């Protein structure tokens, strides 16, 4: 499964506050599933950390596999962006890249932004 930025933010908040919530419970229900994030999710998540906090961010992300962006992901990006624009239902560029990564890797995207990501053709969206 591919985790969206909302999932990472919620999980980090739950750990910091020592109050399990939806993200923690989702991981407990899926203990054997691979934990992946896109390069673009990593970038969005990094925005929430100051320069001196990089080691803490990297430690948090250590169990997760960061998926690279290649030619196939770029192709999916173009197709998704075009389809959404033609339908009059565009989403943000980073969200298109995240969705394209999930489509390319044939992974479900775990997010609480169901309404936004449900617009993306061929994307399996999972709420947590």
Query: Over the stretch 82-117, which tens digit does the pLDDT of each residue have?
Result: 999 999 999 999 999 999 999 999 999 999 999 999
Strands (E) across the chain are located at: 2-3, 36-38, 65-67, 109-110, 125-126
The pLDDT, as a whole number, for residue 74 is 98
- The per-residue DSSP string of 99-112 comes to HHHHHHHT-PEE-S
On the CB side of 8, how many CA atoms lie within 13 Å of its CA?
Answer: 30
The pLDDT, as a whole number, for residue 45 is 97
What number of residues does the chain have?
128
Q: What are the extents of the domains in the chain?
A: 2-126
Q: What is the pLDDT of residues 16-48, one digit of tens each?
A: 999 999 999 999 999 999 999 999 999 999 999
Residues 6+ apart with CB under 8 A from 105: 2, 36, 67
Q: What is the mean pLDDT of residues 41-62?
A: 96
pTM over 0.75: yes
CATH code of the domain occupying 2-126: 3.40.50.1010
The pLDDT, as a whole number, for residue 17 is 97
Q: Are 12 and 44 in contact (CB under 8 A)?
A: no
Q: What is the pLDDT of residues 69-85, one digit of tens each?
A: 999 999 999 999 999 99
User: What average pLDDT does the chain have?
Assistant: 97
The pLDDT, as a whole number, for residue 110 is 98
pLDDT band at 57 (very low <50, low <70, confident <90, very high): very high
* Distance (Å, whole) CA 65 – CA 118: 24
* Distance (Å, whole) CA 39 – CA 67: 6
């Amino acid at each position: 499964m591919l985790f969206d930025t909302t999932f990472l933010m919620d999980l980090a908040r739950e750990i910091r506050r020592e109050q399990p919530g939806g993200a923690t419970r989702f991981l407990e229900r899926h203990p054997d599933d691979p934990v992946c994030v896109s390069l673009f999710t990593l970038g969005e998540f990094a925005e929430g950390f100051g320069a001196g906090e990089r080691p803490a961010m990297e430690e948090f992300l250590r169990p997760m596999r960061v998926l690279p962006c290649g030619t196939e992901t770029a192709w999916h990006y173009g197709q998704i962006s075009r389809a959404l624009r033609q339908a009059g239902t565009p989403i943000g560029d980073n969200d298109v890249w995240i969705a394209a990564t999930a489509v390319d890797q044939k992974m479900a995207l775990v997010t609480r932004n169901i309404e936004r990501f449900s617009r993306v053709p061929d994307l399996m969206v999972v709420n947590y």
